């Protein structure tokens, strides 16, 4: 090793030792007679000192010439500092340097390598290798590494076997868009990159592996959002001879283990809520249950009183913003504008102020008297000083809008404390959802999810009413993971493909291998998958998953650091037997 110690380990009891450190120059302070250099590596920062009378003159000159981010190797004696720095672990000592070598120089970095940088995201991504030198980014990658270790520690202890499934598989139109890979050896044919190892992990169950997991990259050619990447990492798990409850227990334990080991937090027993209840009370299948503010439906109370907006609405529903009766006209206008935003699309916002004196002030006074408003307030369990916020319209759209308003108010009232953890299992999802566009049913989870046995007879008569053995784990309003008990019967699987609009031929061509496998002794099985990038962000109490990925891509799927994707040579295209379709302007 070029060094005897790292920049993070020297303490007062090393004083007198001759050491050699290597690292990057965080900063250099030239006070004329004395030059200090803060030397940084992954493990910490140690101060180097060069001073007249102690350090050889030529060395002091050399120290004066050091620039930021130079890579240097310094040898010297560990000495006690005159002015100690309690803010850094190595703050009691410094190195009185007797030998100094420049291992590499550095240009001025395009942004400051500090906890708080002046670099914008694009610049940081272009020079990601410099961004990673910053403590906040490095710590996120270290957290990710620790998460991986702990996930594996837990699953290994539960007899799960990590099995690597292939990356070059077959394209299956169902679900999101695939990335495809042209095959040179099999001209005119393509591999696809997996959106998840779903079918392979089911085949491993058929193969008797009993308990499988994998921390694995998955790929989706979707148009991207802030928290979406074309390649992302999944903790993928499957178990045999289990029922839904076994999976909920196993992975609730895993999540508790992670919070305990990594954050020292003991989570309470996870809440459970059905999909229907979640939609009715919170307008979302990912409810943030760090706070209440459940929806209250008012159709009975408000309809047939001549107020068209309510009378014509499929649903009239509201929330109680406790203690907000004092909101000004202006503040209420801001909320009204909020719900009218194009992403939310509510037509308007009705409010009722529960005044301290027991009277009520509402934006619909002319239609509803004090008694009526009093009745609403009682239904909300509202106290004097509270503010009722009410939306009306088409059910799903109105619930969605009120869900956004609930989260907004929750944030304004500081009810979404990142130090508070509210984990909930959302259960009993519908098996199918109707797609207006294609006018057919889509699998809400995926085509391999089993219907609840008691609902199977409804598959033909009322497909939309069939509930699935599917479940999501939601933490603080974010979906951490989801899964289902799978179909393991060939006939039922064939019927599912049928309902999803596959012809027998299509089903056979795409999933014949799985349905055949079901004919050779497929065990009952089910599983779950966690979005690992997101789980890391949740664990750190952050929103953006990008900084938890070493080399993320931007919203147009580009890696701006290596400038990928890029053109390839005609020779490569010819070998693959494909050619570009010439597009206008390209």
Residues 10-49 close enough to bind a copy of itself by CB under 8 A: 22, 24, 40-43
By beta-carbon proximity to a copy of itself, the closer residue of 298 and 522 is 522
Selected range binding a copy of itself among 253-261, 349-357, 405-413, 510-518, rule: CB under 8 A: 510-518
Selected range binding a copy of itself among 91-99, 188-196, 303-311, 426-434, rule: CB under 8 A: 188-196
Q: At what angle do helices 504-517 and 490-499 cross, to 10 degrees?
A: 150
Distance CA(402)–CA(321), nearest Å, equals: 12
Window 120-149: residues binding a copy of itself (CB under 8 A): 127-133, 138, 141-142, 144-145, 148-149
Distance CA(64)–CA(318), nearest Å, equals: 67
3-state secondary structure of 203: helix
* Least Cβ distance, residue 582 to a copy of itself (angstroms): 9
Q: Kindly state whether residue 332 participates in binding a copy of itself, applying the rule CB under 8 A.
A: no
Q: Token pair of 404, please? A: 């956004």
Selected range binding a copy of itself among 206-214, 408-416, 438-446, 447-455, rule: CB under 8 A: 206-214
Window 459-498: residues binding a copy of itself (CB under 8 A): 488-489
Q: Kindly state whether residue 241 participates in binding a copy of itself, applying the rule CB under 8 A.
A: yes
> Which one of 89, 175, 207, 323 is in contact with a copy of itself (CB under 8 A)?
207
E strand intervals along 241-275: 271-274
* Least Cβ distance, residue 237 to a copy of itself (angstroms): 14
Residue with tokens 């050091």: 66
Distance CA(205)–CA(240), nearest Å, equals: 6
Q: Kindly state whether residue 193 participates in binding a copy of itself, applying the rule CB under 8 A.
A: yes
Q: 215, 234 in Cβ contact below 8 A?
A: yes
Q: How far is CA 67 from CA 27, 38, 39, 102, in A?
A: 8, 11, 12, 10
* Least Cβ distance, residue 484 to a copy of itself (angstroms): 17
Q: Kindly state whether residue 111 participates in binding a copy of itself, applying the rule CB under 8 A.
A: no
Measured at the CA of 432, the angle between CA 169 and CA 466, to 5 degrees, comes to: 130
> Which one of 31, 225, 330, 567 is in contact with a copy of itself (CB under 8 A)?
567
* Least Cβ distance, residue 188 to a copy of itself (angstroms): 5
Measured at the CA of 432, the angle between CA 431 and CA 433, to 5 degrees, comes to: 140
Distance CA(415)–CA(381), nearest Å, equals: 19
CA atoms within 13 A on the CB side of 555: 6
> Which one of 331, 359, 503, 572 is in contact with a copy of itself (CB under 8 A)?
572
Q: Kindly state whether residue 231 participates in binding a copy of itself, applying the rule CB under 8 A.
A: yes
By beta-carbon proximity to a copy of itself, the closer residue of 63 and 382 is 63
By beta-carbon proximity to a copy of itself, the closer residue of 224 and 364 is 224
Give buried/exposed letters for 214-249 (b at 16+ CB in 10 A, else e).
bbbebbbeeeeeeeebbbbbbbbbbbbebebeebbe
> Which one of 31, 86, 185, 264 is in contact with a copy of itself (CB under 8 A)?
185
> Which one of 33, 136, 166, 541 is in contact with a copy of itself (CB under 8 A)?
166
CA 345 to chain centre: 26
């Amino acid at each position: 090793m070029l060094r005897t110690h790292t920049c993070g380990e020297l303490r007062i009891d090393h004083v007198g030792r001759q050491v050699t450190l290597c690292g990057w120059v965080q900063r250099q302070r030239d006070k004329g007679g004395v030059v200090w250099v803060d030397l940084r590596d992954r493990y910490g920062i140690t101060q180097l000192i060069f001073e007249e009378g102690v350090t050889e003159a030529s060395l002091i000159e050399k120290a004066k010439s050091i620039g930021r981010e130079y890579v240097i190797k310094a040898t010297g004696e560990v000495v006690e500092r005159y002015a100690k720095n309690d803010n850094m672990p190595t703050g009691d000592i410094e190195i009185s340097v007797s030998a100094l070598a420049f291992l590499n120089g550095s240009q001025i970095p395009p942004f400051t390598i500090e906890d708080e940088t002046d670099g914008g995201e694009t610049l940081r991504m272009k020079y990601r290798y410099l961004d990673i030198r910053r403590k906040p980014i490095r710590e996120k990658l270290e957290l990710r590494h620790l998460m991986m270790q702990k996930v594996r520690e837990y699953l290994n202890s539960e007899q799960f076997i990590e099995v690597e499934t292939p990356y070059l598989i077959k394209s299956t139109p169902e679900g999101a868009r695939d990335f495809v890979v042209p095959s040179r050896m099999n001209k005119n044919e393509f591999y696809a990159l997996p959106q998840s190892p779903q079918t392979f992990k089911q085949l491993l169950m058929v193969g008797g592996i009993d308990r499988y997991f994998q921390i694995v990259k998955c790929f989706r050619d979707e148009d991207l959002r802030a928290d979406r990447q074309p390649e992302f990492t999944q903790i993928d798990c499957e178990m045999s001879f289990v029922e839904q409850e076994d999976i909920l227990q196993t992975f609730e334990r895993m999540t508790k283990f992670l919070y305990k080991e990594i954050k020292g937090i003991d989570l309470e027993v996870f809440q459970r809520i059905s999909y229907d209840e979640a939609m009715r009370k919170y307008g979302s299948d990912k409810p943030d249950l760090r706070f209440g503010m459940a929806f209250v439906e008012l159709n009975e109370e408000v309809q047939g009183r001549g107020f068209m907006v309510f009378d014509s609405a499929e649903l009239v529903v509201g929330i109680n913003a406790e203690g907000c009766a004092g909101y000004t006209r202006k503040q209420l206008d801001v909320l009204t504008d909020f719900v009218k935003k194009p992403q939310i699309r509510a037509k308007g916002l009705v409010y009722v102020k529960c005044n301290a004196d027991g009277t009520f002030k509402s934006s619909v006074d002319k239609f509803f008297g004090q008694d009526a408003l009093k009745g609403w307030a009682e239904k909300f369990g509202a106290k004097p000083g509270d503010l009722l916020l009410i939306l009306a319209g088409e059910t799903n759209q109105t619930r969605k809008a009120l869900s956004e308003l609930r989260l907004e108010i929750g944030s304004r009232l500081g009810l979404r404390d990142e130090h508070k953890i509210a984990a909930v299992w959302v259960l009993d999802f519908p098996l199918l959802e109707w797609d207006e566009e294609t006018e057919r049913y889509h699998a809400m989870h995926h085509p391999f999810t089993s219907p609840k046995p008691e609902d199977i007879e409804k598959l033909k008569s009322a497909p939309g009413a069939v509930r699935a053995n599917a479940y999501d784990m939601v933490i603080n309003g974010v979906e951490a993971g989801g899964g289902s008990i799978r179909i393991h019967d060939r006939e039922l699987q064939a019927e599912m493909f049928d309902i999803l609009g596959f012809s027998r031929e299509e089903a056979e061509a795409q999933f014949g291998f799985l349905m055949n496998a079901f004919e050779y002794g497929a065990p009952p099985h089910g599983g779950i998958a966690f979005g690992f990038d997101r789980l890391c962000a949740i664990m750190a109490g952050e929103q953006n998953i990008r900084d938890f990925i070493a080399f993320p891509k931007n919203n147009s799927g580009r890696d701006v650091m290596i400038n990928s994707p890029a053109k390839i040579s005609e020779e490569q295209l010819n070998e693959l037997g494909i050619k570009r379709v010439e597009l206008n302007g390209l």
